[in-house]
Each structure stands twice: as C-alpha cells, then as structure tokens.
Structure 1
Amino acid sequence: MATPNEIPVAETIDNGNPEASEKKTRILTLRTSDDQEFEVPESAAVLSVTIKHILEDGCELRKIPLPVVDGRTLTRIIGYLTKHSDGGVSEEEKRNFDEEFVARAEMSALFDVVLAANYLDIKDLMDLVCQEIADRMQNKSVKWVRKTFCIENDFTPEEEKMIKEEHPWAWKDIESDDDD
C-alpha cells in the first residue's frame, strides 16, 4: 500500500534530462469517459491543476478517472501537455506547436478540448483554444454562428431587422448570411 506521499504508477521512465539521469518520472494512468486508458508522464499530467490536486491530496488511485473527457480529446491534450512540459523545448517551438495544434483542428474538436481543458483546469490550453474559436468567429454571419454553436433563433424577422437598424456598426464587415 502506498503512503500518502507516494503516488501509485504503472512504471517510471527516464525523463531524458542529463542532470536528472538518476531521477525517474512517474507514469500516471488516465482513464477516459469511454474507458480508454492513457499512460502519461507525471511531469506532463501535472500541468492540469485538477490532476495535480488529485496527486497532492494523496489519492491512491491506480487509474485517475476523467469522467468528462473522451479518448480522442485526451489524445490531443496529452500531445499539448507533453510538448509544454518538455524543458528542452524553446518558447518559439511551443508557439509553433500551438499554432499547428489549433489550426488543423475542426471546430467540434476545439469545443471538446475547451470543455476538457476547463474540467482539467489547464488555463494556457483553455486560453489558446478559446482564442482560436474567437478568431474563427470573427466576421462570420449570424447564421453561421447560430449553426456552429447550435443556437436557436428566437427572433422574428421583424425583430432582427429592427436590431440591424438600431446597431448598424455591429454588422460592419460581417459576412452575409448567404455566404455559408
């Protein structure tokens, strides 16, 4: 049985740092909502405040459950955490990784990552993905935003016309609803 200061793990790995060749990084097992299991270096996993608190609380879980994160989303997040926990990666490399991380993702995948990053309390990832979603929304039509975010239109055509007339500045540079 593990003591409160020990964290049960499946195995340990050398973290690749020459100064810490004696030091081993523990591997944590994360279990997703769809019952997939992922082994993640502790150094990467603790970038999640949620996981860090679980470990600090001395939980003796062999597998850390993530009930609101699916395997596909966790795969993306592990890639992010691994890149950002690697001390040998420059800030420029991290920025390039971040740009590619969000650029190649579909909007639905970004939504999943936002929800998971919120649950896992990974502020930098949350900020990154929210900014990408905001950038993609910029200058989009109302129709596009409603469709993308599954927002029901509860305005009558007359109400919409009145809003457009009262706030013409809000419609400047916006794509036409016919451009979907």
Structure 2
Amino acid sequence: MKNVGESDQPIPLPNVSSSVLKKVLEYCEHHRGEPLPAPDADTSQDDTRKRTTDISEWDQKFITVDQEMLFEIILAANYLDIKSLLDVGCKTVANMIKGKTPEEIRKLFNIVNDFTPEEEVRLLALPHSYHQLILSFWHHQAQIKKENEWAEDR
C-alpha cells in the first residue's frame, strides 16, 4: 500500500467494514516498527508444521474472535496486503482444523457434505497427492465464493 501521509482525503476500502478495520488497525499499531517478515525460503514439512503453530501470545489473544470476524480479518489482510496479519489468520484456521476428521471440519465451519457416498469412497481411495490437489482446488473455489458474497453484501 502506498504511503498516503497526513492527507485528509478518505481512502476507499470497499471490502473492509469499520469493525474489521478497527481490528486491523489495532494489529498494525501493536506491530508498528517491527521488521517485515522475510519471504519463506525453506518449505520443508517440518518448517511448514512449525509455521502453522508459531503464533505469539499477543497475536493469539488478538485473533480470538468469532469465525465471521476471523474470516473477515483474513480477507481484509489479504485485500490490504498485510502479510503478517494474513499469516496469523491463516495459521489460526490451520490450528483449528489440525487433527480433525473431514466430518469434524464440516461441522466446525458449517459445510454441507455434497458428496454422494460413492464419491466419498472414491476420493478416500485416491493417493494423498490427489487429496491435496482436490483440497487446494476446493479451498480456492470456496475463497472466491466467500469474497464474492462478501463484496455483494457491502
């Protein structure tokens, strides 16, 4: 985001509600002066596992909000390009689903299982790499749907 200085001109933020913006500003104020996170150089499995759980105590307390607010903070952090806040939000979601079965995850996020029993059996028989690909695609589609619904509500 470009430095806008001390201008009295409003900055349009069509995808961010005032309550979410207040939380984002609280986060930014707390982390002001901290160095920007370095791009991830190592993506080994152990490193990835560590990155999903290493949330500071302050950030854990900050991000302890209801699901709707959590996802709106994630969307706002993405829209405003605040990588560290986006990471905290995504790590929080990752920690929420870690160790849960697909059914528990569906219940947690109120996701309707639209697979037929036959489709589920067929999916579970696929190698792990296919599961990752399918989950990646599903997540991408769900994110686009959520962003579109969120933008329509504003």
Q: Would the TM-score normalized by the shorter structure come out above 0.5?
A: yes
Q: CA RMSD in A?
A: 3.0
Q: TM-score, normalised by structure 2?
A: 0.58
State whether structure 2 residue 24 is matched by structure 1 residue 77: yes
Q: Which has the higher helix share?
A: 2
Provide the C-alpha distance between the structure 1 equivalents of 2:32 and 2:126, rounded to a whole number of angstroms: 50
SS in 2 for 1:100: helix
Provide the C-alpha distance between the structure 2 equivalents of 1:166 and 1:65, rounded to a whole number of angstroms: 46
1:96 is aligned to: 57
Q: TM-score, normalised by structure 1?
A: 0.50
Provide the C-alpha distance between the structure 2 equivalents of 1:96 and 1:138, rounded to a whole number of angstroms: 19
Provide the C-alpha distance between the structure 2 equivalents of 1:62 and 1:120, rounded to a whole number of angstroms: 18
Q: Does the 8 Å CA contact 1:69/1:116 hold for their aligned counterparts?
A: yes
Q: Tell me which amino acid in the other structure corresponds to 2:91.
A: Q
Q: Which structure ranks higher in relative contact order (CA pairs < 8 Å, sequence separation ≥ 6)?
A: 2
Choose which of 69, 72, 83 in structure 2 pairs with 1:109.
69
Provide the C-alpha distance between the structure 2 equivalents of 1:61 and 1:68, rounded to a whole number of angstroms: 21
After TM superposition, the structure 1 = structure 2 runs for residues 17-32 of structure 1, keeping only pairs within 5 Å, are: none
Same amino acid, percent of matched pairs: 35
Q: Which has the higher strand share?
A: 1
1:141 Cα deviation from its structure 2 partner:
2.7
1:119 is aligned to: 79
Provide the C-alpha distance between the structure 2 equivalents of 1:67 and 1:54, rounded to a whole number of angstroms: 19
1:74 Cα deviation from its structure 2 partner:
0.9
Q: Structure 2, unaligned stretches of length 5 or more?
A: 35-54, 132-154
Q: Structure 1, unaligned stretches of length 5 or more?
A: 1-49, 88-93, 171-180
How many matched pairs?
109
